[in-house]
Amino acid sequence: MSNQAVSCATTFCVTNGQTFHSDEWTTLLALLTIPLIIDKSILTFAGSFFSQTRAVSTNPAACTINGATFGKWKIVPSNGVTARAQVSCTIAGCTVNSSFLPTGTGGVLCDGGGSYRATSVGEKIQDIMDAIVAFFQSLMAGFAKSEVIRIKQRRFTVLRQLGEGGFSYVFLVKETTPGIHPTAADLYAIKRIRVQLPEQEQRLRQEISAHGAVNSNHVLKLVDSVILRGADLKTRPSASGMDLPVLAEGLLVLPYYGGGTVQDLIDSIPPGDSLELKRILEIGVDVAKGLIAFHKKNPPLAFRDLKPANVLLQIGELNNAILMDLGSVAPARIKLTSRRDAVALQELCAETVTAPFRAPELFDPSSDAVIDERSDVWAFGCTLWAMAYQTPPFDGSMTAAVGGQLIFPSREPYGPAFRALLKDILVTDIRQRLFMDQVLIRVENLLGSISSA
């Protein structure tokens, strides 16, 4: 492998509306000199990234670097403004091998709507670096295609990486077990979880158990699973390329849904636009039903880590929203009897519950607190808010959550009934907060009122 510096030359690099002169960069991206074959994973990444910058789209202008075709992208002028040079390629927000468009030049996507506008030189270098890292990881995921994962008597061939977390990776796979006839239904997602500490193995087993605890169309089902040890265990490389010692490895086979997550849906909203209230409430009904499936268990379970990124969208006739990532599911009702219990719960939630969606009682529980499933109701309200206003209502600090101050945008299209619903859900005192079945009735009633209007 040899590296080649790719800079902006006479161009601006554009990321999320910020522009950077070429002299601010020495090296943009180190590319492999061997030809790379672009596949759907890279296009999916590029599409999601460029839908944020709103600068490029598919069109018959192919980009080739080091003999590798990276897709067909083109900037299209609008309002009578003509680009001063033909765009040859855009990677990670940087227009390569092209003269720049002047500051203030407008353009539109060929087939997705939205606008592009170059602004003054900014300071968000880290934004571009993050985009480059994500893009390069997406490229490298293509090299795992030949890997075969064996789970019991089944064989799965890795197609591409879908995502990763602190200790886990998710891959799109196709079942290639001898004797089966390949169909679209043979596509799955495999979640590979590294276990480096005994408590991580306990959480892995709890995640597997949580899948089996409920049966709902709105909770992701577990197709198969295995925990590998000893000779069956392979050491997996870390992001830095160094091998990490592991005690065990969990492999979870899950259904694959191509609709992305609610967070993907939020990220795709053009600036100045918003989701329809009907769509927000439809997703809310499905999520509420999924949560209730956990809350109605005996004893009740709490999902704990509800957020838009943990809600899948199913494409097709059902068009369901589905809860995924059950790694934080835990007993819902906890009676604390000491400061030690309170600190233990606080530390667990700091590790397993995403801060901007974490309920106040999980930030700093008192030594005599009673916690129940209504912590999920708070996260549900934050998720509705994020769908409506593209950001959660709180910044992830304990001060913001405990204070509970709701600041609605000055211009919002949803009306007083929706705002009242959010206020009634996001009550800081868990003892005064609604239960999930009560919330579901409120959401269904509001959905019914706008559907019949």
Residue 137 in tokens: 């990881």
State the CB neighbour count (10 A cutoff) for residue 305.
22
Residue 243 appears among annotated catalytic residues = no
The three-point CA angle 147-152-156 to 5° equals 30
pLDDT at 46: 38
Contact 252, 225 (CB under 8 A): yes
pLDDT at 234: 60
b/e 393-403 (16+ beta carbons within 10 angstroms → b): bbeeebebbee
pLDDT at 164: 84
> Distance (Å, rounded) from C-alpha 153 to C-alpha 155?
7
pLDDT at 53: 28
CA-only gyration radius of the chain, Å: 24
Binding residue per annotation — 191? yes
pLDDT at 392: 97
Q: What is the mean pLDDT of residues 129-134?
A: 59
Residue 62 pLDDT > 50, yes or no?
no
**Which residues partner with 107 through β-bridges?**
77, 116
Query: Tens of pLDDT along 230-280?
Result: 766 765 444 434 355 678 999 999 999 888 999 999 999 998 899 999 999
Identified catalytic residue from 130, 224, 305, 372? 305
Residue 398 pLDDT > 70, yes or no?
yes
Q: What is the dihedral of CA 263, 377, 214, 281, to 10 degrees?
A: -50
Type of residue at 384: L
Contact 18, 127 (CB under 8 A): yes
Query: Tens of pLDDT along 92-115?
Result: 333 333 333 333 333 332 223 333
Mean pLDDT of the chain: 74
pLDDT at 247: 86
> Distance (Å, rounded) from C-alpha 293 to C-alpha 303?
10
State the CB neighbour count (10 A cutoff) for residue 321.
24
Query: Tens of pLDDT along 290-325?
Result: 999 999 999 999 999 999 999 999 876 567 899 999
pLDDT band at 120, cuts 50/70/90?
very low
> Distance (Å, rounded) from C-alpha 249 to C-alpha 335?
33
- Residue 41 three-state SS: helix
State the maximum Cα–Cα separation within the chain, in Å, rounded to a whole number.
70
pLDDT band at 338, cuts 50/70/90?
very high
Q: Which of 269, 257, 268, 266 is nearest to 313 (CA)?
A: 257
Of 321 and 141, which is predicted with more confidence?
Answer: 321
Task: Give the chain's domains with CATH numbers.
Answer: 12-142 (no CATH), 145-255 (3.30.200.20), 262-451 (1.10.510.10)
Helices 436-451 and 277-295 pack at an angle, to 10 degrees, of 150
Q: What is the mean pLDDT of residues 366-394?
A: 97
Q: What is the pTM of this model?
A: 0.67
Of 184 and 162, which is predicted with more confidence?
Answer: 162
pLDDT at 349: 96
Contact 434, 377 (CB under 8 A): yes
